[in-house]
Structure 1
Amino acid sequence: MALTMSDVDRFEAARPRLEAIAYRLLGSASEAEDAVQETFLRWQAADVARIEVPEAWLTKALTNLCLTMLTSARARRETYVGRWLPEPLLAGDPMLGPADTAEQRDSVSYAVLVLLERLSPGERAVYVLREAFGYPHREIAEILDISQAASQQILHRARKHVADGRARTEIDEAAARRIVEEFLAAAVSGRTEPLVRLLTEDAVSVGDGGGKVPARAKAFEGARAVATFLRGLFKPSPAKRAHVGGVPEIYAATANGGPAIVAVVDGRVVGITCLDVTTEGIVAIRSQVNPDKLVRATGRWAAEDHGDALHTL
C-alpha cells in the first residue's frame, strides 16, 4: 500500500530516535542506518492505517531487526581481523540521541558501548530501551514479546554485566580538551613517566584496524606497557605517514561524550582515540582506525570548525 505524505513525514519525525536506538544496539552507525532503512521498507509495506500507535510499531520493528543483526554480527565478529571496537561518533552527531540525563549520556559513552558487547542481544535491547530511552517495562515487554517480570530480571542482569565498579566523571567539552592536551603533551614528551602518571595501574590500550590498517590485536596492559607503546605511537615517522597517505594532524575533540584525539589527513579522519577517564585516572585508550568505521566521523568533521591542530605525526 502506497504511503501518504503524512505517513512518510511521521516516519521521518521518528527517524532520529530510531537511529539513536539502533546505534546503541549495534555499535555501528552504518549498520544503524541500514536497520532504519529496512524499518522504513517494512513501514512502507504495512497497512499503516490500521496501526494504532505508529511510534510503538516502528520501535518494535526496528528493535527486532537489530536483534537479528546482532545475532549474525556475533558470528561475523568471530572472523573479524583483530579486535572489534564500536564506531565512535563525534560531538553533535544526532545519532548520539538524547543526553538529558546521566543515564542517557552514560549509555552512549564509548566505554559502555564496549561493555555492551558482553550482553546477549536480548539483554542489550532491554538495557538500551530502559536506560537510554526510559521505556517502561510494560512497553519493553510488548516490544520483545516477553513478560514485564522477565524484562525487569533481564535489566538487572544486564546492569551487573555492564557495571565494572569504576566511578567515571562527567566531562564537558572544555574539560575534555584539557585532558587531551595534557595527554598529548605527555605522549609527545619522549618519556614514559609523564604518561604513567596519567594512567591507572591497570590501564589498557587497544586498537581496531579491521585488517585494513595496522593495529595490535592484543591489548597492551599495565600503565608502563601502555605508556611505552603510546610514546612510540605518537612519535612522527615516515612509515605512519605512508600508512595514512599524508601527515596526520592531531586535534582534541569529544566523541561519545568523552575526551578523544582525532587524527586527520587532508580533511579525512584516519583515527579516533577515545580516552576512558575515571576518578583514578585514564583507565583505557581505545583507538578506532578502521576506515570503514570513520566515514560518518569524516562527514561530521567536515561540517565543523576545529581550529588549529595540536600536533602532527
Structure 2
Amino acid sequence: MDDGTELARRFEEHRPHLRAVAYRMLGSIAEADDAVQEGWLRLDRTGAGEIENLGGWLTTVVARVCLNLLRSREQRREDPLELRIPDPVVSHQRGVDPEQQVLLADSVGLALLVVLESLGPDERIAFVLHDMFAVPFDEIAPMLDKSGAAVRQLASRARRKVQGRAPAPDPDLSRQRLVVDAFFAATRDGRFDDLVAVLHPDVVLRSDGGPNRPRQSVVLEGARTVASQAVTFGKLAPFARPALINGAAGVAVVVNGKLFSVMAFTVVDGLAVAIDVLIDPERLGRVDLTALDL
C-alpha cells in the first residue's frame, strides 16, 4: 500500500466524525460535505508525517473552514432575523441507518439546529466544538483568535440560548409518534380543539419557504395560532408520510410523487413544543427519500 492510499484510508476513518462536526456547524449537508472535502485536500497537500493527532488536526481544519463559511454567510445576510430551517435528515420511521446515526448522534434535532442558526459564528463554533465534541477551550481559542476564557464565555452564552429555546424531546419515539399522528388526524378532520390539545400553549411553528418564497417563511407562536394555520392546510394531511426527521417523529408530505414539505416535531411531555417546516422546493429537491419506500 503506497503512502497516498494509506493517507486516504486514515482520512476515511475520520470522515463520519468530521461530517457530523460540519453538519452541526453549518446546518447544510452539502456545505458540510464540501468542508470535509476541503479537509481532505489540505491533508493531501500537507501529508500526515508531522501530524501527531490526525483526528484533532482534521477537526481543527474543518472547523476553520466552517467558521469562514459562517462568517461569509452572516455578511451576505441582509436581514439578521432571516429564518432558515437547516437541511433535514429524513429516515424511515423504522429507524435511522448507520451512516445517518453517526451524523445525528447526541439527538441533533432540527429544532436544535434552528437555534444554532441564530448564534453568531464564534458562539456556534465554541458551543459545537466544546459542548457537542468535548474540544477543550484552549484548543478552540486559536481558531477564533481569542483567549480560552473568552471562548468559555462564548460557549456559556450560546448554551443559555440553546437551553432556553431548544428543549430536549421525549426519548420515547412511540410517544412522539402518537402526538404527530393525533396532530394530523385533527388537521385532516378540521378538529380545532383537538389540535390545540396536542400543542403546547407556547408552541412555535417555523416555516422556511426559501429565497423565492419569502411570504412562506414565517414564525407562528401559540397553540391557537398554530392550530388555526394547520386547519387551513388540512387538505394536505392525507399526503403526510410518517418519517423520522433528524431522528425524531415527523412527516414527509409527498404529493404526486413529489416532496412538498418536510415537517419536524419536537415533542416534550406529550405535547408538540416546536414544529419546523421546510417547503423550499430547491432544497427539498436534494432530500434523499429512498429510505421511505415511496
| TM tier relative to shorter chain | 0.7 to 0.9
Question: What's 2:117 paired with?
Answer: 117
Instruction: Report SS of the residue matched to 1:163.
Output: helix
Instruction: Report SS of the residue matched to 1:235.
Output: helix
Question: What's 1:233 paired with?
Answer: 233
What letter is aligned with 2:153? Q
Question: What's 1:89 paired with?
Answer: 89
Deviates more, 1:108-117 or 1:173-182: 173-182
What letter is aligned with 1:235? K
CA distance, structure 2, for counterparts of residue 26 and residue 165 of structure 1: 19
Instruction: Report SS of the residue matched to 2:241.
Output: strand
Instruction: Report SS of the residue matched to 2:216.
Output: coil
Question: What's 1:277 paired with?
Answer: 267
Deviations 1:58-95 (A, max 9, x none): 11110000000001112334379x73211111242635
Q: Is the 8 A contact 1:90 1:254 kept in 2?
A: yes
**1:139, CA displacement in angstroms?**
3.5
Q: Is the 8 A contact 2:204 2:222 kept in 1?
A: yes
What letter is aligned with 2:198? L
Question: What's 1:303 paired with?
Answer: 291
CA distance, structure 1, for counterparts of residue 192 and residue 229 of structure 2: 9
What letter is aligned with 1:70? L
What letter is aligned with 1:292? E
Question: What's 1:259 paired with?
Answer: 249
Structure 1 runs not aligned, ≥5 long:
238-247, 307-313
CA distance, structure 2, for counterparts of residue 166 and residue 214 of structure 1: 24
CA distance, structure 2, for counterparts of residue 3 and residue 146 of structure 1: 37
Alignment identity in percent? 36
Q: Is the 8 A contact 1:171 1:257 kept in 2?
A: no
Aligned length, in residue pairs:
288
Instruction: Report SS of the residue matched to 1:188.
Output: helix
Deviations 1:274-303 (A, max 9, x none): 112233722222211113333453x2x313
Q: How does 1:108-257 map to 2 (within 5 A)?
A: 108-141=108-141, 144=144, 146-164=146-164, 168-212=168-212, 216-236=216-236, 249-257=239-247
Deviates more, 1:286-295 or 1:87-96: 87-96
Distance 1:267 1:96, change over 3 A: farther
Selected match of 1:287 from 257, 277, 288 = 277
Deviates more, 1:146-155 or 1:156-165: 146-155
Deviates more, 1:184-193 or 1:42-51: 42-51
Structure 2 runs not aligned, ≥5 long:
none
Question: What's 1:49 paired with?
Answer: 49
Q: Is the 8 A contact 1:20 1:96 kept in 2?
A: no
CA distance, structure 1, for counterparts of residue 270 and residue 174 of structure 2: 20
What letter is aligned with 1:303? A
Deviates more, 1:89-98 or 1:70-79: 89-98
Note the aligned Cα RMSD (angstroms): 2.9
Deviations 1:118-148 (A, max 9, x none): 2221111111112222223344345555433
Question: What's 1:241 paired with?
Answer: none
Distance 1:66 1:133, change over 3 A: same
Deviates more, 1:207-216 or 1:25-34: 207-216
Deviates more, 1:150-159 or 1:15-24: 150-159
TM-score by length of 1: 0.81
CA distance, structure 1, for counterparts of residue 88 and residue 3 of structure 2: 34
**1:266, CA displacement in angstroms?**
5.4
**1:40, CA displacement in angstroms?**
1.4
CA distance, structure 2, for counterparts of residue 166 and residue 218 of structure 1: 18
**1:12, CA displacement in angstroms?**
1.1
Q: Is the 8 A contact 2:176 2:267 kept in 1?
A: no
